[in-house]
Amino acid sequence: MTKNNESAKKMPAMKVIIKEDPEFRRLPVSGVFGALNPLEGRIGFFLDSPVPKIKDGSSGEMELREIERRLMVETCMSPQIFIQISEWMNQRVEVLKKDCPELFEAEEE
């Protein structure tokens, strides 16, 4: 056994304490954008909202010509964490496919 393996075996198990940050909040999102390179990964979340306008004339009818895309939050991480998040999300999707295949039927057609 190497010296590194010996010291790793002697380390006590870490206890993880989960606390909610005072600034924690839930945000609705419509989608994501991001980037991954050898130095960092980024994932940004946005929310799309329709911007209705009243049509010209006196009918009071409304029309939709714009969608406002609000950038809600951007997260920055190491490439390794980006990959781990991706793998974790893919695992959750596979479980959901088994548990609720009807959610994916339209995708397969």
Record the pTM: 0.71
Q: What tens digit of pLDDT does each residue of 4-59 get?
A: 566 557 788 999 999 999 999 999 999 999 999 999 999 999 999 999 988 877 67
- Domain map of the chain by residue range? 28-102
Q: Express each pLDDT in 76-109 by its tens digit.
A: 999 999 999 999 999 999 999 999 999 998 765 5
Alpha helices in 1-109 (DSSP H): 3-10, 79-99, 105-108
One-letter identity of residue 42: R
Cα separation, 72 vs 43, in Å, equals: 11
Contact indicator for 60, 54 with CB cutoff of 8 Å: yes
Cα–Cα nearest to 66, from 81, 82, 53: 53
- The three state secondary structure string of 45-73 is EEEEEEEEEECCCCCCCEEEEEEEEEEEE
